[in-house]
Structure 1
Amino acid sequence: MVLLVSGCFSSERDFSLERKIRPIIPLDIWPSDSADTKDTNDTIDVPDIIIKPCNTDLECADEDPCTLEECTTEGFCLYSQIANCCVTDAQCNDQDECTVDRCVDSQCEYTTLPLEDCCTEGVTLLESDFESEDLTPFDVVADQSGAGWHSSGLNPHTGGRSARYGVPDTDNFDTGTRTSGSIHLPSFELPANGALLEFWLLADVEPDPARDLLQVVIESPQGLVQIAWSKEALLPNDFGKWVKIAVPVNYFGNWTPEQGTGVAPRILFDSVDNTENSESGVFIDDLRVLGDCPEPPECTVDTECDDATPCTLDVCSNGTCEHIPEEGCCVNDNECDDTDPCTVNQCIENRCETFIPDVECCVDDAFCDDQNICTLDLCQNTICTHQPIDGCCLTDGECNDDNICTLDSCTQNTCTAQSIAGCCTQDSECQDGLPCTDDACVANVCVNPPIAGLICCSTANDCPSTGSACQSPVCLDGLCDLLTIDGCCETDGDCPPSTEECTQAICQNNTCGTQSIEDCCITDEECVDINPCTVDTCTNNQCKNTMTIGCCTSNGECNDGNDCTDDRCVAGDCTNTLLPGCCETSSDCSEPPGACFTTECLSGSCQTNPIPDCCSQNADCDDGIVCTEDLCSNGTCTNPTLPGCCTVDSDCPSGPDACTVGTCTEGSCTLAPQPGCCTTDEECVDINPCTVDTCTNNQCKNVMTIGCCTSNGECNDGNPCTDDRCIEGDCINTPLDICCQSNEDCDDGNPCTTNTCNPDGSCSSNSINGCCTSADQCDEPTGPCSIMTCTNNSCQEVPDPDCECQTNSDCDDGNACTSEICNPDGTCSSNPIADCCTSVDQCGEPTEPCTIMTCTDNSCLPVPDPDCGCENSADCDDDNSCSIDICLLGDCVYIPIDGCCSSNQDCDDAFACTEDVCDDGSCEYELIDGCCTNDAQCSDSNPCTQDRCIDSSCAYEPIVSDDCCQNDSDCDDLDECTIDVCIDNTCKYTASAEPACCIDGDNAFWDFDDNSSQDWSLENDGTGSNWHVTLKRFHDPAFSLRFGRPDADNFDVGQRTLGSAISPPTTLPFSGDKTLTLWIYFDAEEFGLADLFDISIRSGPSVQTVWSKSDLPTEAYRLWFPISINLNAYSGATIQIAVRFDSVDEIFNLGEGVYLDEIRIETECP
């Protein structure tokens, strides 16, 4: 193979060779050489000739280390290639995709690539068969029990040794005490996709999960700890035999590769107790860590990294393309955007130029400061506005409130109006509260003269008496009045006449009544007298009693002189009836009815007479004295006194306590309770649950309890989502099952609705305009070759994959002689290109002798026939202005002129956004205005449009999204409790300060119970003592955040140690009481200048300490202690909690450190 390089040639061509030809460029020229590239790529030893006159070999020396230089007898330099020598990496291509081929020191080197096709099992990051007797390179941590991890030949899986936990030189791990230890793997770099830890395990221990603990633990570079595997994963029959264990090693919590990739897993064993430890222990063998097969390199040479952007330097570095921006270079105006709305940025000749068309344009509020403290200076849409601040003033003159009775002044930019004592402007200001005065404002002075006839009072005692028993003075609404007593009278005339016959009205004791009229009658019956011989009638309310002739009025008038007749006057007539049992002597009479009676005949009649002082039964002897026993014996009464009998209460003894007295009732003493008296508190319990019931000095006291309730109404907490009841004096507020307290409670699972919790606890939902959950809800696409999709709940118009094409490039049929077009309906069509060829067969016969036709760059061109030979260079003219035609040794040689062109087609740079022109043999490229090649070039800096490059033209499609906006109205979230504004085309929502918008509950809560820092940022000094999540202590199971050594129960690292933990940002509401609460366990020095601990609140650039160790009571050390901090000063602000521990020195650091748990920010509404 012969290469030809132009030195300095003349030419008959009408253009400059100096501009077109680069000096000394090796080119292949011999037909026998199949390669058409530089001779550094030749793979066989072919002699090449450079047209360079020479006399000696030294004159032919070049810079190619792979050629031998020789000066031929013809006086030209001859170059021979050195076998197996290389200059570039391309010469070392071994056609093996699994090697990286490099030319190093002129020799090829081959490195195996970790490609997917070359990697079958994974990349081994670490492996060990534990054949080393000292477990190198593993680290071992052991206690002082005598057992631990060591190299053992007792029971290997393969080979002669394994790693074992037990007592060396024994077959058990029984030390008589609890024993524990860990074996630490060497550190390795964890791949982004994680790794797999594999090892063989023989666990000859107790299967009980609470004993003989066995775990694989992973710790991140930040001190985060995760238990990746534990003994609980083993099956019952896995114990006592070799089983293979596979443990994924992954990033966890907030650990990311950017925070470090070094990881060293450790395997821990802990017997927990000192019983049943006679087994052989734990054995580990044949351990390895596997990583995923790496991704293939993005590139191997720089040319693979061409991004077709003129403003980047494209290089391949370590298999990755890097596009280094050329400082100050630009392609379009969008790249010059400095995000300053007050500037116009343009890309002129690939350099950014900035113009400020309006010097009054603003970018922030500070620019608009008018030095007037009484205006709110804002930059709104690049225009300064100065809004007066309500109530702000600069001079006293601005504070005139048009009130003659105030002294107006401007104090600290606030108007104050000091009332002038005694001054008034209207009658209503003069009210003295007395109804008996006429209140008026006269000449700006209050006057209050009394009103005639009116007397003011506060009670009835202030009112004068009239002396009338039927009128009572009263005080009504502050005025005296007389209240007439209904039914009251002073004389009979004050009473209404009686409506009943024979009665008359009378006034007695100031009360009206009636009394009968003496001798007045209404009926005859009222006139009947005791004289049966009268006719009794009532005439004109007067009785008339007229005598009847021959009528008797008494029995005596009827005596017939016979003692044995019963002589009677009956109804005015005499009757004389014979008496039965009439006697003449006492013997004619019957026996007396009892021993206490006698019978005798008196006036012809038997008479029964009682014997004086005679008795027949005890009742006859009743002497009326309760304390005597009344007895009748043989007709004679006796009345002996009864023992223990009483007649008055004083005869009876008192009871056992002050509330029991003796009472005499019917002669007997009884003990009765004294009404209203008590001896114990229990006797005073009333039915009111809100009283404290006590017995004091034998009297009950029932005192009301503050805060106690007696009815459900007293327990209303203002929360519509609770059932408020008063139960046994305590308010119980039970949450209702179906009620909401926050918008989150109303989540209906539909991303296209906004869910609102109304003040009454009910949920309401409103559809979000433009939101979708499926493409069926989207409008029809605008083009025939696009379809609608619902992406992230937003309708997006995307290319239809069923269309044959979207752009012309999609229609490439691989035929260089056709032009392909993508039609509007998405179908491809092609048209033949005139005078185009793909093979020499299409070129016909040459028209000149000694020429042959060639198809070059898809054009038919005649070239000299090499079989014709040549005598001079003129014989070799190929009519191609882009080649140097030379007759060399009887053969025509054609040297392509680098960068030369003969047609516009030669200048095609495959860049759609340039117009490619061949001008005077040189390619020129002009950018097409508005043309694009990728979406990034179409950026309009508007986040509310989707910027796309379609068919080399920019298209801007509006984005329908809740968060995208043009003005504030676009951001209305239908939530009355947010302030909705559009800033930089993005909706911003700020909580409202209205009391009705206050929501009780947690704003943030961290308990670390997922064994992670829960997005807290842990900043440690790297001394070994740090903030980390731990199981050692907790207030609420099972984790807490601790500062101390993760591997010990102290924070002693032999030097000062410090660290901070910072919470994620939390935005506080405007209304309600905000409180930070947490539990702390503090085990460090009490000395005030050492082991410092404090809590700060960060809000923007402000950092304020709100609690420190000095606030912790001494008795609270080494106990869980609650802390409460008021956060109302940060209403509406976004804050972070920062906790800091600093040992200050290296001594007395044997305490456990600091534990934090249940950190809560909560709001309580008024």
Structure 2
Amino acid sequence: MRSHKETQLPIVLDPHLEDLFCFLVDIWLTGSEILDTNRGTISCAFYLWRIVMRLVFALFFITACSGESDVSVQGGADGHSIDVSTDAHDALIATQADTTNETDLFDGSARAPDPGEFGYPCIKNAECNAGYCIETPNGSVCSKTCSSDCPNGFKCSGVSNSSTDIVFICLSMFNRLCDPCKEHKDCNEMNKIGNLCLRVGNSGSFCGAQCFISNGDADCPNGYTCQFLTDAKTKVSGEQCVPKSGATCSCSKRATQLALSTDCTNKNVFGVCSGSRVCKPEGLTNCIGQIPESESCNKLDDNCDGETDNIDASAIGAGCKQSNEFGTCLGMFTGCEKGQPLCSAVKPEPEVCNGKDDNCNGKTDDGLCDDGNVCTTDQCNTDGSCKHTKLTGPLCDDGNVCTAVSECAAGVCKGGTTLDCDDKDACSTDWCDPFTGCNHKPASDGACLDDGNACTQDVCANGKCTHPKVKDGNACLDEGNVCTKDVCDNGDCSHIANASPCNDDNQCTLNDTCKDKTCSVSLPKVCNDGNACTIDGCEPAKGCVFKPNPFSNDGTGVPCPEDGNACTNDICKGAVCAHVPIPGCN
């Protein structure tokens, strides 16, 4: 049997009871109700000297402190509850990066602890110098005694030993913070009750850590915040350290070693099924459990609603079938019976001459009275004899592939329109064979498709349309230019420059001649009407033009030929030579 010291869980003197203890001492010694809610070990020690003379009374309170003393806070800063499943901390699943740094958790240096020292891994109390092997997120390690301060992530707390003495040792503050859990007790150790197991939607439940909103986030490790929350599953409320928004929980070393798990649900359009998420070396698993499915006839609760084979009403009336070696008959789904679907479809049977479609192939008495004529309908008479009704109009096959459409006429299949075998190729001979259909034989002569080139011939040769060149010098397509000669040259139509007379459409030129394929050589036309009273000119569209001399009316006039009369002034008036009498001249 293990020693009492190794097996007994230390009893933590919770901060609430420390304050309560000091409060009662205040009242007892001073009659006052002054309570320093922020006092710790030091402030409380200020009063302890006052009760030395009343040791029995003090031991009474110390003994009282050894029981379960944490209380679940029922009111937040604003007196309202917050459902974790709908709060901003839906992402309660958060990291423990700021509470699992082994160097910071122990002595603040990088030196590995020696056996028995604070932080050294342990299993039993006897393995530790201080006599206490405690839990941490990284597994069990040796603790050490303390008076006030402890390394980062630890708190100096009073615990009871085997002799009921109160011993102050460094305890890990956040052993189970963010661990997967199922009940509130999973989140507490050493008789604590202040940490809550908080439900986070369908993801499961995870441990918070008790804190006090009045201290802000000082009671929580880095990356966490203190909030008043209500567990969505149990409706228990309290002030808890939870991850800041956006973070996700990872499995601590302790949680992985213990394979801690939490309940979860798999949810989809068919329903919600319970499952479990487990801490494994690779991390927290997805929800392991049944996936909801559409309910079917199998004696199972497929959608996890607590009932088996409760088919949705919308499925009733859906199509179903019965099949065997004779065929497939269709029907409607009507429900389940003993885990099997019920279908209204009849069972397929061998076809017999009874006026029914026994094998559900869409034909009545098919084949039993078949006379092999597609232009008759065949059916069984009630006496078992066959009746063949002649048809007119339905399409049929007369066996001649050269008749495109054949129709029944009074029970006989007659050919219709002859098949068109023209392949639109001028260099093939086309005909139709009644058995093989259209045939095409290459033609060795004859004209074929014009290639649009006047300098080639278009003739068939061995079933192909060919285009041999014509003789050079043959006339080809006239491009409409009088200054070129259009003749074939090596299969192409060439346009050779000439020196032919032409017309440049200019009335001011004479003897127009072609050069370099254009009408560009000519002589200028001379325009002279012999009239001193006009200006001689030429316009391309009109030819010669004779306009009045612009100086004829400037007051002095333009001289023109004399008329031999000394008593006249010979000057131009407009385009005419005028002989104006000189006044007083005889």
TM-score under structure 1 length normalisation: 0.16
Which fold has the larger relative contact order, with Cα–Cα distance below 8 Å and residues 6 or more apart in sequence? 2
Instruction: Name the structure where strand makes up a greater proportion of residues.
Output: 1
